[in-house]
Amino acid sequence: MNALDDIRALNKDVPIIFAGNKADLERKRNVAQLEVKQAAVQANIPTFEISVALNHEIDDLLLSIIAEIKESLDSSGNLKAKREEVENSGGNQKEIKENDDFQAAIRRFSQRKKKQMGHTGIVEYQNTKCSALNPAGLIERFRQWRKGSVSN
């Protein structure tokens, strides 16, 4: 846990999640489940044992990652604080413009991807495979998961 303490000391608001892949290969396990659970409880970190081959717990992992990132941004206001620091310190207008241009480019890219994926705004729950989720469906599942209405 020493490395984890170092990470938290340097970046206290960075979300951390334990994710172990290859849950389908139990006989080749190197770390006991009890050890993982104890470390997770001690460090107060969510854990996931996933299997990409079996598509096991992939959606839950993605939703947890989104939730952890959202909580870290809400609690610390990293993006807003960084921009305010640049503006308040008489920051370079070129830096601010580049940041705005970057954000606009990300929005355009996201909109293109939604069109390419046939985004209709309709959430489909019949196929829960990670690859079948469209961006709107993933966000809607995240919202429902946060409300506690998605059953495992």
Assigned domain for 146 exists: no
Task: Give me the pLDDT at residue 45, please.
Answer: 83
Task: Give me the pLDDT at residue 124, please.
Answer: 44
Distance CA 87, CA 97 (A): 11
17 touches 48 (CB < 8 A)? yes
Dig out the tokens for 138 from the structure: 């993933």
Task: Give me the pLDDT at residue 27, please.
Answer: 85
Domain count, the chain: 1
51 touches 57 (CB < 8 A)? yes
| One pLDDT digit (tens) per residue for the chain, 152 residues | 577 788 878 877 677 888 888 888 888 888 888 888 888 888 888 888 888 888 888 888 888 888 777 777 755 455 434 444 545 555 566 655 655 666 666 667 666 656 655 544 444 444 455 555 566 666 777 777 777 654 54
For 39-69, give the DSSP string.
Answer: HHHHHT--EEE-BTTTTBSHHHHHHHHHHHH
Assigned domain for 74 exists: no
Task: Give me the pLDDT at residue 135, please.
Answer: 61
**Claim: this prediction has a pTM higher than 0.75:** no
Assigned domain for 129 exists: no
- Rounded to the nearest integer, the mean pLDDT of the chain is 69
Assigned domain for 87 exists: yes
In the chain the first and final C-alpha atoms are separated, in Å, by 30
Assigned domain for 128 exists: no
Assigned domain for 103 exists: yes
3-state SS class at 111: helix
Q: Which domain holds residue 96?
A: 80-116
Could you report the per-residue pLDDT of 103-136, keeping only the tens digit for each?
666 667 666 656 655 544 444 444 455 555 566 6
Assigned domain for 132 exists: no
Assigned domain for 32 exists: no
Distance CA 114, CA 12 (A): 34
